Amino acid sequence: MRFDEDFLWGTATASYQIEGAVKEDGRGTSIWDTFSHTPGKVLHGDTGDIACDHYHRLEKDLDLMAELGLKAYRFSVAWPRIQPDGSGAVNQAGLDFYRRLVDGLKARSIEPMLTLYHWDLPQKLEDQGGWTNRETSECFAEYAGIVYDALSEDVKFWITLNEPWVAAWLGHGYGLHAPGHRDPAKALAATHHLLLGHGLAMQRMRSARDDNRLGVTFNLHPALPGRDREADREAARRVDGQANRLYLDPVFKGSYPEDILSFYKERGVEAPPIHDGDLETISAPIDFLGVNYYFRHTIRDAPEEEPSQEPFSDLNARGIVPHAAEKTAMGWPVDPDGLTEILMRIKEEYGDIPIYITENGRAVHDYVDPEGGVDDEERISYLNSHFRAAHAAMEQGVDLRGYMVWSFLDNFEWAEGYSKRFGLVHVEYGTQQRIPKASARWYADVIQHRGLETV
Ligand code: FCB
């Protein structure tokens, strides 16, 4: 099973999950600093204060990426390193760090893929309403322009937002992520302002130079009915609307899904503050779509459900994990067919857009064995099946151009803290020692041979 020579194999990560050094070189505070330091929000009270200490270990981490033969590296820029207050004054030391990172990648022939927003909003902007405030979209475009002007010579791939559904709904609807609000009206407003920020940032970047590839990354989850019942089919349709169409439709079709807007309206939830012209801004063409795929939702109707922190409770729906499914350490089902399904659906419903898988991977209960290795067979088998699922979509005409495995290093898994390990490389947090797992060697082999054995 071969992939083209120029298929972009890489790994993905995010600033707050690995960098540490949260008070260094002028970095401002982000909503994730505040949230992780609030008791009860993150498992075991873990924070990103040190994380993988990547900020200080940059060169060695880059050497390890080169050793594994990665062709691309997706990372995110911490907005509060660039603009500590979220707007205005620029912190040169912050830009210098990402300059060193980009130079280090290029020196090792690794293609940088840069995400502008992977959830670390400057706290100062949150204090003024954060993503529920329209001005944040404008601030985001200003910040995007600053980073673009500094790095657009050397970075070809630009992603405005990572997973706006998570930022909006886990952050504002269900309270599981920073900033921790629990209000569907805020989640809808945040959705709109995130997407508007994406559109405004695209304009700002395109006007500076238009020879790079600009896109956005969504976490997409097909939603299946849990039982063969009309009520479950409808619930799955609502979940699909909130989780997928609420993001795909405005970007590709210039409209929000009517069924979801009316569902919330009928329940007295304030509509998102859409101004004339916003949807034109949001739907300006993108050069590629980034897809993060982890699993399909299996959904039951849950009319008795009180809105709670449980995702989709406000939609009178509940996600279940089928008993028969193999589960990852996150409790997520292993479901490679969902990847083929979502890639085909994008092509069929939204058109022939170049796609990059910008995240896919699994958490494993890894441990270092007495010989000092980490034998993560489950991760190898997971990646193997998902690469095949991606290949199947390509054979049916999907224009898939690259694959970023989540993640290079074990890291701070948001509300789960350090309890969940997603890395190809094991991190001993006490010593910061890096140990490439069996999956890292296996992946290096896939990259080198441009594919997989057919059996
Ligand atoms: C995605 C996030 C990423 C990581 C993986 C496991 O939702 O984008 O930061 O936490 O899940």
Q: Does pLDDT of 424 surpass 80? A: yes
Instruction: Provide the mean pLDDT of the chain.
Output: 98
DSSP character string of 108-175: TT-EEEEEEESS--BHHHHHTTGGGSTHHHHHHHHHHHHHHHHHTTT--EEEEEE-HHIIIIIIIIS-
- What is the Cα–Cα distance from 435 to 52, expressed in whole angstroms? 13
Minimum-distance ligand 1 atom for the alpha carbon of 361: 6
> Does residue 59 carry a catalytic annotation?
no
> Best substitution site from 247, 408, 414 to test ligand 1's pocket, by max atoms within 8 Å of Cβ?
414
Q: Does pLDDT of 285 surpass 80? A: yes
Averaged pLDDT for residues 211-226? 98
Q: Does pLDDT of 166 surpass 80? A: yes
Averaged pLDDT for residues 203-226? 98
Contact 292, 219 (CB under 8 A): yes
In angstroms, what is the span from residue 237 Cα to ligand 1's centroid?
24
- What is the Cα–Cα distance from 22 to 33, expressed in whole angstroms? 8
Catalytic residue chosen out of the listed positions 19, 111, 126, 359: 359
Among candidates 423, 438, 387, 453, which has minimal Cα distance to 7? 387
Minimum-distance ligand 1 atom for the alpha carbon of 413: 10
In angstroms, what is the span from residue 415 Cα to ligand 1's centroid?
11
The residues near 368 (Cβ < 8 Å, ≥ 6 apart) are 374, 426, 428, 435
pLDDT higher for 307 or 428?
Answer: 428
Minimum-distance ligand 1 atom for the alpha carbon of 217: 8
Minimum-distance ligand 1 atom for the alpha carbon of 166: 7
Averaged pLDDT for residues 353-375? 98
The pLDDT of residue 242 is 98
In angstroms, what is the span from residue 364 Cα to ligand 1's centroid?
14
Q: Does pLDDT of 370 surpass 70? A: yes
Catalytic residue chosen out of the listed positions 163, 341, 378, 413: 163
Q: Does pLDDT of 295 surpass 90? A: yes
Has this prediction a pTM greater than 0.85?
yes
Q: Does pLDDT of 213 surpass 70? A: yes
Averaged pLDDT for residues 269-287? 98
- What is the Cα–Cα distance from 167 to 370, expressed in whole angstroms? 40
- What is the Cα–Cα distance from 281 to 277, expressed in whole angstroms? 6
> In this structure, which residue's CA is closest to atom 10 in ligand 1?
413
DSSP-assigned letter for residue 418: G
Q: Which residue has the tokens 């886990």?
A: 170
Q: Does pLDDT of 455 surpass 80? A: no
The pLDDT of residue 25 is 98
What torsion, rounded to 10 degrees, do the Cα atoms 129, 131, 133, 137 define? 140
For residue 291, the cross-strand partners are 218, 357
Averaged pLDDT for residues 418-446? 98
The pLDDT of residue 330 is 98
Convert the pLDDT of each residue in 107-138 to its tens digit. Answer: 999 999 999 999 999 999 999 999 999 999 99
Counting residues of the chain whose pLDDT is more than 70, the rounded percentage is 100
The pLDDT of residue 453 is 77
**N-terminal to C-terminal alpha carbon distance within the chain:** 9
**Helices and strands (DSSP H and E) totals, the chain:** 16, 13
Convert the pLDDT of each residue in 60-92 to its tens digit. Answer: 999 999 999 999 999 999 999 999 999 999 999
In angstroms, what is the span from residue 162 Cα to ligand 1's centroid?
9
In angstroms, what is the span from residue 202 Cα to ligand 1's centroid?
23
Minimum-distance ligand 1 atom for the alpha carbon of 17: 9
- What is the Cα–Cα distance from 4 to 6, expressed in whole angstroms? 5
- What is the Cα–Cα distance from 177 to 145, expressed in whole angstroms? 27
In angstroms, what is the span from residue 76 Cα to ligand 1's centroid?
12
The pLDDT of residue 454 is 63
DSSP-assigned letter for residue 45: G
* pLDDT class of 1 with cuts at 50, 70, 90: confident
Q: Does pLDDT of 37 surpass 60? A: yes
In angstroms, what is the span from residue 406 Cα to ligand 1's centroid?
8
Residue 405 — φ and ψ, nearest 5°?
-75, 135
SS3 273: coil
Q: What residues flank ligand 1, with Cβ below 6 Å?
A: 14, 17, 162-163, 166, 219, 292, 359, 406, 413-414, 422
> Does residue 24 carry a catalytic annotation?
no
